[in-house]
Structure formats: C-alpha cells, structure tokens
Amino acid sequence: MLIQLIYRSRSHFTWKSQELQALGAESAARNQQQHIFGLLLYDGEYFMQVLEGEAAVVDALYARIAADTRHTDVVLLLRDPIPQTHFNQWHVGTLDMRDGLLLNSSARWRHWCATLGMQADQGHRAVRFVEAFVRGRWRDPVPAVAWFSDSPQPPTPPTSSAAVLPLVAQRPQDWLATQPRWAAGPGSQGGHAHRAHFALQPIVHTRDVRISSVEALLRGPQGESPQSVLAAVPPEAVHRFDLYSKADAIALAAALKLDCTLSVNLLPMSLVSHADAVDFLVAQCQRHHWPLHRLMVEVTEEEAITHIDAFRQAVQRLRASGIQVAIDDFGAGHAGLSLLAEFQPDTLKLDKRIIQGVHASGPRQAIVRSVIEFCFCLGITVVAEGVEGPEEWQWLHAAGVRRFQGYWFARPGFQCVPPVSWPTVLQAQATGTGF
Ligand code: C2E
Ligand code: MN
Ligand code: MN
C-alpha cells in the first residue's frame, strides 16, 4: 500500500544553505533505493517534510527521522493511503524557504506549485499542508523539551485535609434510608440504598500552581467503578440515585473543608426527571454551607445531545441557581460543535482521547488550538483531561491551557484529595526561585 506521510519538526540549530543541500542529497540517495518520494521544506527553524512510498518503508523511515537528535518537536500531521505518488520527480526535493520564496499572492503560489510539479488547485492534501506551512502555520512556540523533561516529584505526605477523612468515612447512617423523602419506593431500595462513596481527583492550575477544582467520581464501598455502582442500582432508580448521591459528594467536600470548586457528574436525566432536582442540589449546598458558585455539574457531550431539550432546561435551572455547568468529554461524542452553538458552558473539558499524544499529533493540535480559540472568545474555561505525561502538559501549556486533570498530576483518591505531584519546574516557581 502506498502512503503519504507529512510531519513538521523544529531544528536544534540553523542549517546553512550548503548543509541543507548536503542533507537533501544524502536523503535523496537513500530514498532512491527505497522508492520514497517527497519534499522537504525548511524556513530557517522549522522543517516540513512530505514522504510518499510503500507504507512499511515510509513508516520505518519516519521512525528513524523522529529519533534523529538534530531536530525536536516532531509532529505527525498526516499519514494516509494514496492511489499514486505526487512527487515522482523527486526522491525528496529540498526547498530552502529563505531563498526569497515570497508567496504572498495566489499567482505566485500557483507558479511555485507548478515548478514543483504540484497542481495548486488539485486539492491534494499535501499541497494544502505545504501551503499552510508556507503561510506560516505549524510553527508553535513550544518550549524546548529539555526545559520540562523532569518528571513530577514523588508524592508528598497527604495534606491535612485528608486527616479529616475518617470522620466522614465512618459516618454511620445510611443516607438514603435516613431520608425517606428521597428513598426509593417500597421494595425497590434493594442494595443501592447505601451512602455513596467518591474518589476525588484534583484539577490543577499550572500557572498559579494551585488546585482549581476537585472532581468527585462515584465509587463503590471498595472503590468499585462508577459503571458498576450505577449498574447495581435498579434501572428505575438510577437517576434518583445519581442525583441523591451528590449530597454525599457535597458533604464530603464540605467535611474536607475544600476551598476550591467541587465538580460532580450527572446524567442530564438525573437533573430533569425530578422537577426539584436543582432545588435538591441547592438545599444540600446550603445544608453544608457550600457556596453555590463553587459547585459545578458536569454533563457529557453525548448525553447532553441525546437529551437536548432536557439538557436545555437543566442548564437554565442551574444557571438561575448560580451552579456552574461543564461539558465533559468534549470531542468524544459526535455533535459537540452543534451543542456549543446552543449552549456555552462555564467550562469545557477536552476528552482524553484528544489530549493523549497531542504533542506529536498534528490533527489533535489543530483541533485543540481551535477549541482554545473559540473558548477564549466565548469566555469558556478549558480543562484538559487525561494528562498522563509531561509532553502533553508542556504542549498544552504552551498553547494556552491552564487547567489539567490527569494521572500525571494526581490520581483520584478514595474519599480524600490526594496530594498533587507538581512538576519540579513549578515547584521552583512556587517557592519563588524563578521559572
Ligand atoms: P469523567 O467524568 O470523564 O471522569 C474522568 C475519568 O477519567 C475518571 O474515571 C478518572 O479516574 C479518569 N482519569 C483521570 N485522569 C486520567 C488519566 O490521566 N488517564 C486516564 N486514562 N484516565 C484518567 P472514572 O472514575 O472511572 O469515571 C468514569 C466516568 O464515570 C466519568 O468520566 C463519568 O462520566 C462517570 N461518572 C463518575 N462519577 C459519576 C456520577 O456520580 N454520576 C454519573 N452519572 N456518572 C459518573
Ligand atoms: Mn467528569
Ligand atoms: Mn471526562
């Protein structure tokens, strides 16, 4: 199978014109043997390269290129099958964009494409990527990898708030059972009428080096997953259980004396199947002296879309009460943009499938950048979920994201707020010894 692969990277040093030509000649000789064709652009700092050839050969070459220490920030922009190669006249032609390559008019651009053997209006993806590059895209001011390459420090001892926990964990009463108003009807209480447990995961603000919010994730008494807890509840009681369990999340956050926002997850139907659902949340906040503006309800994009009218009503009521609204797992569903056209939440949480590998994936970068842009315009706070390593955080931070949730900073802690593993570079900032 023939494929086309495009990447961009940033050179560690400035190549002189002759050095670049030598590099081109060296790779052309190698590519000729392997029947690889393509184009290498260099602007004095960044490279963009198009490679076309047999999949296995191109992939192997890309793996070697990605490991080459002469450049960094290697980002895969495209890898797709093609019916035929487009650059057959070159076993990688090298173009030094410093050679007075002024492409500021479409006539010049067309002329330039023609000299390359590309048809400017043919619509090849490669041509468009090259055009984007020539017109200044794909040059992110991402700081050098070495700057952030240190891993987080090992966890520090639990903070004092965790010490309050046993009191909460040993609360004897069965919450639903003691509150008949909320309890399920006769015979349907079953095994679900217990106090709900939560794992708390910090969401960190890495410019201010603080925990900006804590998400309460439903757990069974032994730490079982939210799915298994909800599956054990009779179907007709799921929404009621989902809603009422939040009283325990609020109680827990209040008992831990958290001074940040508490995020809770709810199915949209949990909010609308009871007319007084929002009143219930408000009452629980008042009971525990939890300020309403420090409660945030997270609803997944998928669920919000499938229950659009219900979601619309729920958002109105939450807004009216002062409770914040977040769209969770943005980008995982199928209709996120049309949802956003209708409702603008306070916070948008980018799904981990978009975040993971963002530092090396052109499509993810382009998507995330546009999300950051429209959230900026609309006053929506962006949270990146599922940050598992320093590279993702580094790229996202450089792109302007400030709030992060992920194992790299802190895993969820059962009934407690676990300590955050701040990257060393931020610890230095926190103690005022410079960034
Ligand atoms: P979510 O709201 O998107 O919560 C984040 C999930 O990602 C959590 O899984 C968390 O443990 C996990 N996570 C956090 N950081 C990382 C990371 O760096 N890498 C990876 N791979 N995962 C990470 P969890 O606790 O299993 O929850 C799964 C989902 O269950 C939640 O996704 C949420 O949609 C739902 N859920 C949780 N609590 C409730 C609840 O009280 N009610 C309802 N209706 N749904 C809930
Ligand atoms: Mn969530
Ligand atoms: Mn999520």
Mean pLDDT over the full length of the chain? 82
Counting from 1 in the atom list of ligand 1, the atom nearest the Cα of 218 is 38
Give the distance from CA 336 to its chain's centroid: 14
Give the distance from CA 435 to its chain's centroid: 24
CB distance 268 to ligand 1 below 6 Å: no
- Band (pLDDT 50/70/90 cuts) for residue 159 is very low
Count of alpha carbons within 13 angstroms of residue 372, beta-carbon side: 18
The residue among 435 and 364 whose pLDDT is bigger is 364
CB distance 386 to ligand 1 below 6 Å: yes
- pLDDT 10s digits, 365-422: 999 999 998 898 888 999 999 999 999 999 999 888 999 999 999 999 999 999 999 9
The residue among 80 and 181 whose pLDDT is bigger is 80
Query: 333 pLDDT exceeds 80?
Result: no
CA angle 426, 398, 205 (to 5 degrees): 45
Query: 349 pLDDT exceeds 60?
Result: yes
d(Cα 200, Cα 215) in Å, to the nearest integer? 6
Which distant-in-sequence residues (6+ apart) come within 8 Å of 313 by Cβ? 272
Q: What is the pLDDT of residue 429?
A: 60
Count of beta carbons in the 10 Å neighbourhood of residue 6: 25
pTM comes to 0.79
Q: What is the pLDDT of residue 158?
A: 34
Which distant-in-sequence residues (6+ apart) come within 8 Å of 12 by Cβ? 69, 70, 71, 72
| CA 216 to centroid of ligand 3, rounded, Å | 12
Which distant-in-sequence residues (6+ apart) come within 8 Å of 28 by Cβ? 90, 91, 92
Nearest to 47 by CA among 77, 25, 74, 78: 74
Pocket test for ligand 1, best of 243, 265, 300, 355 (most atoms within 8 A of CB): 265
CB distance 356 to ligand 1 below 6 Å: no
DSSP 349-370: EE-HHHHTTGGGBHHHHHHHHH
Pocket test for ligand 1, best of 192, 204, 214, 218 (most atoms within 8 A of CB): 218
Q: Are 111 and 120 in contact (CB under 8 A)?
A: no
Ligand nearest to the CA of 226: 1
Counting from 1 in the atom list of ligand 1, the atom nearest the Cα of 249 is 41
- Band (pLDDT 50/70/90 cuts) for residue 161 is very low
CB distance 303 to ligand 1 below 6 Å: no
- pLDDT 10s digits, 13-70: 999 999 999 999 999 999 999 999 988 999 999 999 999 999 999 999 999 999 999 9
| CA 216 to centroid of ligand 2, rounded, Å | 8
Residue 180 burial (10 A CB sphere; 0-12, 13-18, 19+): exposed
Q: What is the pLDDT of residue 165?
A: 29
The residue among 320 and 125 whose pLDDT is bigger is 320
Q: Is 387 left (phi over 0), alpha (psi -120 to 50) or beta?
A: beta
| CA 299 to centroid of ligand 2, rounded, Å | 7
- pLDDT 10s digits, 166-221: 223 323 233 344 433 344 433 333 333 458 999 999 999 998 899 999 999 999 99
Nearest to 406 by CA among 424, 391, 384: 384
The residue among 100 and 142 whose pLDDT is bigger is 100
Which distant-in-sequence residues (6+ apart) come within 8 Å of 179 by Cβ? 244
Q: Are 387 and 355 in contact (CB under 8 A)?
A: yes
The residue among 101 and 98 whose pLDDT is bigger is 98
Bridge partner list, 7: 49, 76
CB distance 405 to ligand 1 below 6 Å: yes
